[in-house]
Protein backbone atom coordinates (compact mmCIF):
# COMPACT_ATOMS: atom_id res chain seq x y z
CA UNK A 1 0.00 0.00 0.00
CA UNK A 2 1.27 3.49 -0.92
CA UNK A 3 -0.31 6.77 0.17
CA UNK A 4 -0.08 10.31 -1.16
CA UNK A 5 -1.85 13.06 0.76
CA UNK A 6 -3.39 15.68 -1.51
CA UNK A 7 -5.02 18.85 -0.21
CA UNK A 8 -7.71 18.75 2.50
CA UNK A 9 -9.35 15.38 3.07
CA UNK A 10 -8.19 13.87 -0.24
CA UNK A 11 -5.66 11.06 -0.68
CA UNK A 12 -4.34 8.84 -3.44
CA UNK A 13 -4.02 5.24 -2.22
CA UNK A 14 -2.26 2.57 -4.27
CA UNK A 15 -2.65 -1.14 -3.56
CA UNK A 16 -1.16 -4.32 -4.98
CA UNK A 17 -3.92 -6.43 -6.60
CA UNK A 18 -3.29 -8.47 -9.73
CA UNK A 19 -6.90 -9.00 -10.93
CA UNK A 20 -7.94 -5.36 -10.52
CA UNK A 21 -4.73 -4.15 -12.16
CA UNK A 22 -5.22 -6.37 -15.19
CA UNK A 23 -8.99 -6.50 -15.62
CA UNK A 24 -10.58 -3.31 -14.24
CA UNK A 25 -12.58 -1.15 -16.61
CA UNK A 26 -13.65 2.45 -16.12
CA UNK A 27 -16.67 2.74 -13.82
CA UNK A 28 -15.91 -0.46 -11.92
CA UNK A 29 -15.17 -0.24 -8.23
CA UNK A 30 -13.50 -2.00 -5.32
CA UNK A 31 -14.85 -2.87 -1.86
CA UNK A 32 -12.00 -2.31 0.56
CA UNK A 33 -11.23 -1.80 4.24
CA UNK A 34 -8.04 -1.08 6.11
CA UNK A 35 -6.30 -3.82 8.08
CA UNK A 36 -6.53 -7.59 8.25
CA UNK A 37 -8.82 -7.87 11.30
CA UNK A 38 -12.62 -7.91 11.64
CA UNK A 39 -13.04 -4.27 12.78
CA UNK A 40 -14.46 -2.20 11.14
CA UNK A 41 -16.77 -4.94 9.84
CA UNK A 42 -17.72 -3.58 6.40
CA UNK A 43 -15.63 -2.77 3.37
CA UNK A 44 -16.36 0.53 1.59
CA UNK A 45 -16.88 1.12 -2.17
CA UNK A 46 -14.50 3.25 -4.29
CA UNK A 47 -14.21 3.81 -8.03
CA UNK A 48 -10.92 2.70 -9.57
CA UNK A 49 -8.93 5.79 -10.56
CA UNK A 50 -5.97 4.13 -12.27
CA UNK A 51 -4.33 0.76 -12.81
CA UNK A 52 -0.78 -0.31 -13.54
CA UNK A 53 -0.88 -3.84 -15.02
CA UNK A 54 2.94 -4.15 -14.96
CA UNK A 55 3.29 -3.30 -11.27
CA UNK A 56 -0.02 -5.07 -10.58
CA UNK A 57 -1.45 -2.10 -8.68
CA UNK A 58 -4.61 -0.01 -8.65
CA UNK A 59 -5.04 3.50 -7.29
CA UNK A 60 -8.02 5.10 -5.53
CA UNK A 61 -8.86 8.78 -4.96
CA UNK A 62 -10.33 8.84 -1.47
CA UNK A 63 -12.02 11.65 0.43
CA UNK A 64 -11.90 10.96 4.18
CA UNK A 65 -15.45 11.53 5.46
CA UNK A 66 -16.00 8.92 8.20
CA UNK A 67 -14.47 5.98 10.07
CA UNK A 68 -13.87 3.69 7.07
CA UNK A 69 -12.29 6.30 4.81
CA UNK A 70 -10.25 7.80 7.66
CA UNK A 71 -8.84 4.34 8.51
CA UNK A 72 -7.87 3.80 4.85
CA UNK A 73 -6.22 7.22 4.62
CA UNK A 74 -4.27 6.57 7.84
CA UNK A 75 -2.74 3.32 6.56
CA UNK A 76 1.03 3.03 6.54
CA UNK A 77 3.19 1.69 3.74
CA UNK A 78 3.24 -2.10 3.74
CA UNK A 79 0.03 -2.47 5.77
CA UNK A 80 -2.63 -4.86 4.48
CA UNK A 81 -6.16 -4.10 3.35
CA UNK A 82 -9.07 -6.45 2.60
CA UNK A 83 -10.40 -5.98 -0.89
CA UNK A 84 -12.85 -7.35 -3.47
CA UNK A 85 -12.14 -6.13 -7.01
CA UNK A 86 -12.96 -5.36 -9.72
CA UNK A 87 -16.74 -5.16 -9.17
CA UNK A 88 -19.77 -3.80 -11.00
CA UNK A 89 -20.69 -2.67 -14.49
CA UNK A 90 -18.38 -0.31 -16.40
CA UNK A 91 -19.19 2.67 -18.64
CA UNK A 92 -20.04 1.83 -22.26
CA UNK A 93 -17.69 3.59 -24.70
CA UNK A 94 -19.41 5.98 -27.16
CA UNK A 95 -19.91 4.92 -30.81
CA UNK A 96 -17.26 6.07 -33.32
CA UNK A 97 -17.48 9.80 -34.07
CA UNK A 98 -19.35 10.55 -30.82
CA UNK A 99 -17.70 12.73 -28.18
CA UNK A 100 -17.73 11.39 -24.61
CA UNK A 101 -18.74 14.29 -22.38
CA UNK A 102 -17.82 13.40 -18.79
CA UNK A 103 -19.46 15.33 -15.96
CA UNK A 104 -17.94 14.96 -12.49
CA UNK A 105 -18.63 16.37 -9.04
CA UNK A 106 -16.09 16.01 -6.20
CA UNK A 107 -14.70 12.48 -5.84
CA UNK A 108 -16.95 11.51 -8.76
CA UNK A 109 -14.00 12.44 -10.99
CA UNK A 110 -12.30 9.13 -10.06
CA UNK A 111 -13.64 6.81 -12.82
CA UNK A 112 -12.96 9.32 -15.58
CA UNK A 113 -9.19 8.96 -15.63
CA UNK A 114 -9.43 5.27 -16.56
CA UNK A 115 -12.25 6.13 -18.95
CA UNK A 116 -10.08 8.79 -20.63
CA UNK A 117 -7.35 6.17 -21.15
CA UNK A 118 -9.89 3.78 -22.68
CA UNK A 119 -11.16 6.56 -24.97
CA UNK A 120 -7.64 7.36 -26.11
CA UNK A 121 -6.93 3.70 -26.91
CA UNK A 122 -10.19 3.52 -28.90
CA UNK A 123 -9.43 6.85 -30.69
CA UNK A 124 -12.57 8.53 -29.27
CA UNK A 125 -12.74 12.19 -28.27
CA UNK A 126 -13.50 13.10 -24.65
CA UNK A 127 -14.02 16.20 -22.53
CA UNK A 128 -14.41 16.57 -18.76
CA UNK A 129 -16.61 19.04 -16.86
CA UNK A 130 -15.43 19.04 -13.23
CA UNK A 131 -17.41 20.80 -10.51
CA UNK A 132 -16.95 21.37 -6.80
CA UNK A 133 -17.72 23.84 -4.04
CA UNK A 134 -14.28 25.46 -4.26
CA UNK A 135 -10.96 25.05 -6.12
CA UNK A 136 -9.63 22.79 -3.34
CA UNK A 137 -12.29 20.21 -4.28
CA UNK A 138 -10.93 19.94 -7.84
CA UNK A 139 -7.79 18.06 -6.79
CA UNK A 140 -7.40 15.96 -9.92
CA UNK A 141 -7.85 18.73 -12.47
CA UNK A 142 -4.29 18.35 -13.85
CA UNK A 143 -4.35 14.64 -14.70
CA UNK A 144 -6.40 14.92 -17.90
CA UNK A 145 -4.15 17.20 -19.96
CA UNK A 146 -1.47 14.49 -20.52
CA UNK A 147 -4.29 12.24 -21.78
CA UNK A 148 -5.29 14.85 -24.37
CA UNK A 149 -8.68 15.43 -22.72
CA UNK A 150 -9.76 19.06 -22.18
CA UNK A 151 -11.09 19.85 -18.70
CA UNK A 152 -13.58 22.60 -17.93
CA UNK A 153 -13.74 23.45 -14.21
CA UNK A 154 -16.64 25.06 -12.35
CA UNK A 155 -16.82 26.08 -8.70
CA UNK A 156 -19.76 27.30 -6.67
CA UNK A 157 -17.66 30.09 -5.07
CA UNK A 158 -16.06 31.10 -8.40
CA UNK A 159 -12.50 30.34 -7.15
CA UNK A 160 -11.75 28.32 -10.31
CA UNK A 161 -13.42 28.24 -13.71
CA UNK A 162 -17.06 29.13 -14.23
CA UNK A 163 -18.95 30.27 -11.12
CA UNK A 164 -21.89 28.06 -10.19
CA UNK A 165 -22.97 24.55 -11.03
CA UNK A 166 -21.02 22.38 -13.46
CA UNK A 167 -24.15 22.07 -15.62
CA UNK A 168 -23.79 25.76 -16.64
CA UNK A 169 -20.62 25.31 -18.81
CA UNK A 170 -21.92 21.87 -19.79
CA UNK A 171 -25.09 23.37 -21.28
CA UNK A 172 -23.04 26.05 -23.08
CA UNK A 173 -20.92 23.29 -24.67
CA UNK A 174 -23.99 21.31 -25.72
CA UNK A 175 -25.57 24.45 -27.21
CA UNK A 176 -22.51 25.09 -29.40
CA UNK A 177 -21.54 21.51 -30.24
CA UNK A 178 -20.94 20.37 -33.81
CA UNK A 179 -21.24 16.57 -33.69
CA UNK A 180 -22.98 13.90 -31.60
CA UNK A 181 -22.18 13.51 -27.89
CA UNK A 182 -22.90 11.00 -25.16
CA UNK A 183 -22.99 12.06 -21.51
CA UNK A 184 -21.32 10.24 -18.61
CA UNK A 185 -21.87 11.50 -15.06
CA UNK A 186 -20.41 10.62 -11.67
CA UNK A 187 -20.90 12.66 -8.51
CA UNK A 188 -23.57 13.77 -6.03
CA UNK A 189 -27.16 12.62 -6.61
CA UNK A 190 -28.44 16.12 -7.39
CA UNK A 191 -25.84 16.50 -10.15
CA UNK A 192 -26.63 13.07 -11.61
CA UNK A 193 -30.28 13.93 -11.65
CA UNK A 194 -29.62 17.31 -13.34
CA UNK A 195 -27.56 15.57 -16.05
CA UNK A 196 -30.30 12.96 -16.53
CA UNK A 197 -32.91 15.74 -16.95
CA UNK A 198 -30.71 17.62 -19.36
CA UNK A 199 -30.08 14.47 -21.43
CA UNK A 200 -33.79 13.74 -21.59
CA UNK A 201 -34.64 17.31 -22.67
CA UNK A 202 -32.02 17.18 -25.45
CA UNK A 203 -32.63 13.61 -26.57
CA UNK A 204 -29.11 12.51 -25.56
CA UNK A 205 -27.95 9.18 -24.13
CA UNK A 206 -26.47 9.50 -20.64
CA UNK A 207 -24.87 7.00 -18.30
CA UNK A 208 -24.75 7.76 -14.59
CA UNK A 209 -22.61 6.13 -11.91
CA UNK A 210 -24.90 5.91 -8.87
CA UNK A 211 -23.56 6.35 -5.36
CA UNK A 212 -25.80 4.45 -2.92
CA UNK A 213 -24.68 3.02 0.42
CA UNK A 214 -23.08 -0.39 -0.14
CA UNK A 215 -22.52 -3.08 2.49
CA UNK A 216 -21.20 -6.10 0.58
CA UNK A 217 -20.61 -5.18 -3.09
CA UNK A 218 -21.66 -8.65 -4.31
CA UNK A 219 -25.47 -8.64 -4.32
CA UNK A 220 -26.21 -10.25 -0.94
CA UNK A 221 -27.06 -7.49 1.59
CA UNK A 222 -29.53 -5.54 -0.64
CA UNK A 223 -28.31 -2.31 0.98
CA UNK A 224 -27.67 -0.71 -2.40
CA UNK A 225 -30.96 -1.24 -4.25
CA UNK A 226 -32.15 1.44 -6.69
CA UNK A 227 -35.39 1.64 -8.66
CA UNK A 228 -34.81 1.04 -12.37
CA UNK A 229 -37.25 0.62 -15.27
CA UNK A 230 -35.81 -1.13 -18.32
CA UNK A 231 -37.33 -0.97 -21.82
CA UNK A 232 -40.21 -3.41 -22.25
CA UNK A 233 -40.82 -3.84 -18.50
CA UNK A 234 -44.31 -2.88 -17.27
CA UNK A 235 -43.04 -1.40 -14.01
CA UNK A 236 -39.74 -0.46 -12.36
CA UNK A 237 -37.88 -2.99 -10.20
CA UNK A 238 -35.40 -2.65 -7.38
CA UNK A 239 -31.96 -3.70 -8.57
CA UNK A 240 -28.61 -4.01 -6.82
CA UNK A 241 -26.39 -1.11 -7.80
CA UNK A 242 -23.34 -3.19 -6.90
CA UNK A 243 -23.99 -5.97 -9.42
CA UNK A 244 -26.26 -4.36 -12.05
CA UNK A 245 -24.57 -0.94 -11.70
CA UNK A 246 -23.16 1.30 -10.40
CA UNK A 247 -23.35 2.55 -14.00
CA UNK A 248 -26.91 2.76 -15.37
CA UNK A 249 -28.50 4.34 -18.43
CA UNK A 250 -29.89 7.57 -16.90
CA UNK A 251 -33.22 7.15 -18.72
CA UNK A 252 -33.91 3.91 -16.83
CA UNK A 253 -33.37 5.30 -13.31
CA UNK A 254 -36.46 6.24 -11.29
CA UNK A 255 -35.16 9.14 -9.20
CA UNK A 256 -36.46 9.57 -5.66
CA UNK A 257 -38.91 12.47 -5.17
CA UNK A 258 -36.50 14.33 -2.86
CA UNK A 259 -32.89 13.39 -3.68
C1 LIG B 1 -19.77 3.01 -6.60
C2 LIG B 1 -19.19 3.97 -5.59
C3 LIG B 1 -17.98 4.58 -5.87
C4 LIG B 1 -17.41 5.48 -4.93
N5 LIG B 1 -16.21 6.04 -5.25
C6 LIG B 1 -15.61 6.85 -4.36
C7 LIG B 1 -14.33 7.42 -4.66
O8 LIG B 1 -13.76 7.21 -5.74
N9 LIG B 1 -13.77 8.21 -3.71
C10 LIG B 1 -14.38 8.47 -2.51
O11 LIG B 1 -13.79 9.20 -1.69
N12 LIG B 1 -15.58 7.96 -2.21
C13 LIG B 1 -16.21 7.15 -3.09
N14 LIG B 1 -17.44 6.61 -2.79
C15 LIG B 1 -18.08 6.96 -1.50
C16 LIG B 1 -17.46 6.16 -0.37
O17 LIG B 1 -17.79 4.80 -0.53
C18 LIG B 1 -18.00 6.68 0.97
O19 LIG B 1 -17.52 7.97 1.18
C20 LIG B 1 -17.54 5.78 2.10
O21 LIG B 1 -18.26 4.55 2.04
C22 LIG B 1 -17.78 6.42 3.44
O23 LIG B 1 -17.38 5.50 4.43
P24 LIG B 1 -16.94 6.00 5.89
O25 LIG B 1 -16.91 4.82 6.78
O26 LIG B 1 -15.70 6.83 5.82
O27 LIG B 1 -18.07 7.01 6.26
P28 LIG B 1 -19.45 6.71 7.00
O29 LIG B 1 -19.17 6.75 8.46
O30 LIG B 1 -20.09 5.49 6.43
O31 LIG B 1 -20.23 8.00 6.55
C32 LIG B 1 -19.69 9.31 6.81
C33 LIG B 1 -20.56 10.36 6.15
O34 LIG B 1 -20.55 10.20 4.71
C35 LIG B 1 -21.88 9.97 4.25
N36 LIG B 1 -21.81 8.93 3.20
C37 LIG B 1 -21.38 7.66 3.32
N38 LIG B 1 -21.45 7.01 2.14
C39 LIG B 1 -21.94 7.89 1.26
C40 LIG B 1 -22.25 7.84 -0.12
N41 LIG B 1 -22.08 6.74 -0.83
N42 LIG B 1 -22.74 8.95 -0.71
C43 LIG B 1 -22.92 10.07 -0.03
N44 LIG B 1 -22.65 10.20 1.30
C45 LIG B 1 -22.16 9.13 1.92
C46 LIG B 1 -22.65 9.47 5.43
O47 LIG B 1 -24.03 9.79 5.32
C48 LIG B 1 -22.01 10.25 6.57
O49 LIG B 1 -22.52 11.55 6.63
C50 LIG B 1 -18.07 5.76 -3.70
C51 LIG B 1 -19.30 5.14 -3.44
C52 LIG B 1 -19.87 4.28 -4.36
C53 LIG B 1 -21.18 3.62 -4.07
S1 LIG C 1 -23.96 -3.73 -1.62
FE2 LIG C 1 -24.84 -5.53 -0.81
S3 LIG C 1 -26.29 -6.08 -2.31
FE4 LIG C 1 -25.27 -4.38 -3.20
Asked if residue 129 and residue 73 are part of one domain, the reply reads no
Residue 254 near residue 225, CB atoms below 8 Å: no
225 lines ligand 2 (CB under 6 A): no
Measured from the alpha carbon of residue 29, the closest ligand is: 1
Please report the pLDDT score of residue 231 as a whole number: 86
Q: Tell me, in angstroms, the distance from the centre of ligand 2 to residue 165's CA.
A: 31
Average pLDDT estimate for 87-109: 97
% of the chain at pLDDT higher than 90? 90
Please report the pLDDT score of residue 258 as a whole number: 60
Average pLDDT estimate for 133-162: 95
Asked if residue 113 and residue 79 are part of one domain, the reply reads no
Strands 57-63 and 50-52: antiparallel
Average pLDDT estimate for 236-255: 97
Q: Tell me, in angstroms, the distance from the centre of ligand 1 to residue 246's CA.
A: 13
Asked if residue 202 and residue 103 are part of one domain, the reply reads yes
Residue 259 pLDDT exceeds 70: no
Please report the pLDDT score of residue 38 as a whole number: 76
Domain of 20 in residue numbering reads as 2-87
Asked if residue 73 and residue 34 are part of one domain, the reply reads yes
Per-residue pLDDT of 31-51, as tens digits, reads: 999 987 777 778 999 999 999
Asked if residue 143 and residue 102 are part of one domain, the reply reads yes
Residue 225 pLDDT exceeds 70: yes
Q: Tell me, in angstroms, the distance from the centre of ligand 1 to residue 233's CA.
A: 31
Per-residue confidence at 1, pLDDT binned at 50, 70, 90? confident
pLDDT, the chain, mean: 95
Residue 257 pLDDT exceeds 80: no
Residue 190 pLDDT exceeds 70: yes
Please report the pLDDT score of residue 40 as a whole number: 74
- Name the residue at shortest CA distance from atom 45 of ligand 1: 213
Asked if residue 205 and residue 103 are part of one domain, the reply reads yes
Last residue of one domain, picked from the residues 87, 122, 154: 87
Last residue of one domain, picked from the residues 173, 191, 209: 209
Asked if residue 51 and residue 20 are part of one domain, the reply reads yes
Asked if residue 100 and residue 155 are part of one domain, the reply reads yes
Asked if residue 223 and residue 204 are part of one domain, the reply reads no
Asked if residue 82 and residue 186 are part of one domain, the reply reads no
103 lines ligand 1 (CB under 6 A): no
Asked if residue 53 and residue 68 are part of one domain, the reply reads yes
Q: Tell me, in angstroms, the distance from the centre of ligand 2 to residue 232's CA.
A: 25
> CATH number for the domain including 156?
3.40.50.80
Average pLDDT estimate for 102-107: 96
Number of domains in the chain: 3
Asked if residue 159 and residue 197 are part of one domain, the reply reads yes
Last residue of one domain, picked from the residues 28, 59, 87: 87
Please report the pLDDT score of residue 116 as a whole number: 97
> CATH number for the domain including 40?
2.40.30.10
105 lines ligand 2 (CB under 6 A): no
Residue 18 pLDDT exceeds 60: yes
Please report the pLDDT score of residue 36 as a whole number: 79
Q: What secondary structure, in 3-state letters, does the chain show?
A: CEEEECCCCEEEEEEECHHHHHHCCCCCEEEEEECCCCCCCCCEEEECCEEECCCCEEEEEEECCCHHHHHHHCCCCCCCEEEEEEECECCCCCCCCCEEEEEEEHHHHCHHHHHHHHHHHCCCCEEEEEEECCHHHCCCCCCCHHHCCCEEEEECCCCCCEECCCHHHHHHHHHHCCCCEEEEEECCHHHHHHHHHHHHHHCCCEEEECCCCCCCCCCCCCCCEEEECCCCCCCCEEEEHHHHCEEEEHHHECCCCCC
Average pLDDT estimate for 110-121: 97
Amino acid sequence: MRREALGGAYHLLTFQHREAAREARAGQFVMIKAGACAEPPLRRPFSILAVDPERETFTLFVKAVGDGTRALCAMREGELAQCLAPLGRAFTPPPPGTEAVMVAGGYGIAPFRLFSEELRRAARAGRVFYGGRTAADLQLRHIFEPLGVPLIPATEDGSLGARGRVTVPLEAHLDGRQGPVRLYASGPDAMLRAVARLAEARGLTAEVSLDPWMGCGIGTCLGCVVLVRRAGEPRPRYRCACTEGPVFNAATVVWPEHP
